[in-house]
Amino acid sequence: MHYRSISDMNDAIVRNLHRLPRDIDLVVGVPRSGILAATLLSLTANIPMTDLDSFLAGKIYTSGVTKRRAALDRQATDMRKVLVIDDSVSGGAAMREARSRVEAAGIEADFTFAAVFGLLPQHEETDIVLEVVPHPRMFQWNFMHHKFLAQCCVDIDGVLCLDPTEAENDDGPAYEKFLGEALPLFGPTRKIGWLVTSRLEKYRSLTEAWLAKHGIEYDQLIMLDLPSKAERQ
């Protein structure tokens, strides 16, 4: 499995700045993950940015009070060199759609289309791929929506929900209350292969009820078959 974190994405952008056109006026992110890439590039190179929908509507994001320069205050109609970027390219459908929407809008500008990560060094849909990442691959920013979750083991506490506090983790009424009311963290939209937890088997029904309440699907729930917290420790 080839895994890339948000930090890896930022590193790939920084390492490859020299490959991008030096006179970019605007960075446009392809929703949703491409907006992350556009944000990192915009902050690193101090270039104005926006998302594709806003760009087509003639809007760009405003800038804060730091790193001020005149180029940050221009309007969308002033942008002549535009970089459209997505987090990755595989089959190319998202980038083809982005190209089609830009062409249909009839905006007069010099467009470059890029992806941070690609299956190959070159893709028909992009002008630039910053880094090759072959299949199988998962990214930090969307791994909870990836089909490979069906082949993964995932913990519950600290991943799907907040860890219990010391007071809540009493192996008694406070812990049972926590199991029913635990605050959710990551929300998977794909079925998980195995949920593996150090929770005791006697709390299966409460755990299953919480998972059902939050729409989390899984094939197997593997719990610790011990009588008490003391035995577990």
**19-42: per-residue pLDDT in tens?**
999 899 999 999 999 999 999 999
CATH of domain 2-141: 3.40.50.2020
- Structural domain boundaries of the chain? 2-141, 147-232
* pLDDT score recorded for residue 62: 85
Mean pLDDT over 101-113 rounds to: 95
Q: Are 80 and 125 in contact (CB under 8 A)?
A: no
Please state, for a pLDDT cut of 70, what percent of the chain lies above it: 92
3-state secondary structure of 52: helix
**What is the pLDDT, as a whole number, of residue 42?**
96
Chain segment 205-225, per-residue pLDDT in tens: 999 999 999 999 999 999 998
- pLDDT at residue 64 above 70? no
Q: Which two tokens mark 119?
A: 């299956």
- DSSP symbol at 161: B
pLDDT, the chain, mean: 93
Output the pLDDT for position 121: 96
Q: Rounded to whole angstroms, how far apart are CA atoms 90 and 119?
A: 6
